[in-house]
Amino acid sequence: TGDIEILKKQVPYFKDAQTMRGTEIDTLWNDAYGNKQRTEDGQVYTGSVLEHILIQQLAAFYDVGVHNIYRLRGADWNDALDMAAENGESVAFTCAYAGNLHTLASILRLMESAGETSIPLSEEIEILLNDQTDMFDSVSEKKKILTEYAKSCRHNLSGRKKNFSLSTLAANLIQKSNWLTDHIRSQEWIDGKDSEEGWYNSYYDNHGEAVEGFHHEQVRMMLTGQVFSIMGNVATDAQIRKIVKSADHYLYRKEIGGYRLNTDFQELKFDMGRMFGFAYGEKENGAVFSHMAVMYANALYQRGFAKEGWKALRSLSDTALDFDTSHIYPGIPEYFRSDGRGMYHYLTGAASWYLFTMITEVFGVRGVFGNLLVHPKLLAEQFDEAGTASVSVTFAGKQFHVTYRNTDRKDYGSYHIAAADCDKTAIEIVEDSHIMISREFINNLSSDLHEITVTLA
């Protein structure tokens, strides 16, 4: 949206008896204290939205297990990975946070480009801004820093704030993101039996053992680590090609919806979670779990692998629409079980991600810092007989109907933007793969429906 001001909005923090990142009880807290964080002088403390986000991202950087990967604790997105609270680690979410830190740094630079130079933050946050990269390799040092920070806000905050340079903050986040990326690439990659295959380990179990790889010649692979390594820009393009090969080989079953969540581990792996107590092909244990399958597609599209992303989306929709297989009304179920039947209809998260991916990645219409980006990743088969494809969207309070004309029916990667207009007013093409319509131009448009036409050649 480009709404930079929201990052400076002051909001309170929730407070209850849990402290030290949920591992201890604050015995000084009681009902009289209330449910908002206070300062030493008893005032309700408020911090900017940006401060909240920074704390969420930075504190997690130090909360690691023995492999220097973010602790799984009782679960991550998957609440069925709930039995590795002591020693479990989530490579998948470490990848996600690596991407988050990089994205947050770009937002800080956007603030800087808008004329901001610094922002006041709680003085306690300085503990988390350690930039000694040699320390990043040490699990024990990271734990010390996290403990120091958690103690500093165990009950009350000081209430004191310091001004922090936005450029320095951005550099700090990039430094941490790069370290995470390098660490995961060097430690978590698994070479397949075939030189064209490979994938990322997603988790460590409660015995501190990697969950994926080869177990007595049995292939163990999970989709989750592949999704977040691709989406978080940890996986290189060469690795993505190997991940796709592996996922197609070990996880893909077209007749039941596409990509399974994992291969069959053939054990009740209760040092990891109750998911392994489900029959294989049910729920989180090897079903085609719609949410992660759609996120896999989204991640592939983000990285330019449109054909591979469409395979994941198309497989889900084809199965859902095949009543003889899915036995559901059209929609996205939580998962397709081992015989292709759609279960727990319908899952709003997966449905939202599906529509989100179609609009922002397949049709390529989305906001970028307040401007409207038009960057199609449509395949030849997605255009009608006349070579057109269109989508209607609302952006910045205005209605747009975007039409792509691809009369030669070229595939993504083969076409470029030859011409573009909005209500027959030509739009300047800076990059031949996309156009950017400024927020200023959009604000000056009427409240009527506006036609954007893009010619591909």
Written as one string, the DSSP assignment of 416-444 is -EEEEEETTEE---SBTTBEEE-HHHHHT
Q: Which domain holds residue 432?
A: 364-456
Q: Are residues 73 and 219 in the same domain?
A: yes
Calpha distance 45→75 (Å, rounded): 30
Give 425-449 pLDDT, tens digit per residue. 999 998 899 999 999 999 999 999 9
Q: Are residues 221 and 79 in the same domain?
A: yes
Give 150-165 pLDDT, tens digit per residue. 999 999 999 999 999 9
Q: Is residue 42 part of a domain?
A: yes
Which of 198, 233, 250 lies at the terminal end of a domain, its last residue? 250
pLDDT computed for residue 239 by the predictor:
98
Q: Is residue 314 part of a domain?
A: no
Q: Is residue 277 part of a domain?
A: no
Q: Are residues 368 and 225 in the same domain?
A: no
Q: Is residue 395 part of a domain?
A: yes
Assign residue 368 the CATH number of its domain. Answer: 2.60.420.10
Q: Is residue 32 part of a domain?
A: yes
Q: What single DSSP character describes residue 359?
A: I
Q: Are residues 9 and 150 in the same domain?
A: yes
Over residues 277-303, mean pLDDT: 97
Q: Is residue 437 part of a domain?
A: yes
Calpha distance 226→122 (Å, rounded): 36
Distances (CA, A) of 237 to 102, 175, 241, 306: 18, 22, 6, 13
Q: Are residues 372 and 242 in the same domain?
A: no
Give 27-36 pLDDT, tens digit per residue. 999 999 999 9
pLDDT computed for residue 27 by the predictor:
97
Mean pLDDT of the chain: 97
Which of 183, 216, 250 lies at the terminal end of a domain, its last residue? 250
- pTM of structure: 0.96
Which of 233, 250, 267 lies at the terminal end of a domain, its last residue? 250
Q: How many structural domains are present in the chain?
A: 2
Handedness of CA 12, 18, 22, 26 (dihedral sign): positive
Is residue 331 within 8 Å of 323, Cβ to Cβ?
no
Q: Are residues 15 and 153 in the same domain?
A: yes
Q: Is residue 148 part of a domain?
A: yes
Q: Is residue 349 part of a domain?
A: no
Look up residue 141 and give its amino acid: E
- Specify whether the backbone of 256 is left (phi greater than 0), alpha (psi in -120 to 50) or beta: alpha
pLDDT computed for residue 217 by the predictor:
85
What would the DSSP string read from start to end of 167-203? HHHHHHHHHHHHHHHHHHHHHHEEE-SSTT-EEE--E
pLDDT computed for residue 348 by the predictor:
82
Give 76-118 pLDDT, tens digit per residue. 999 999 999 999 999 999 999 999 999 999 999 999 999 999 9
Distances (CA, A) of 337 to 19, 172, 382: 40, 45, 28
- What's the alpha-carbon Rg for the chain, to the nearest Å? 24
Give 237-264 pLDDT, tens digit per residue. 999 999 999 999 999 999 999 999 999 9
Q: Are residues 242 and 377 in the same domain?
A: no
pLDDT computed for residue 430 by the predictor:
85
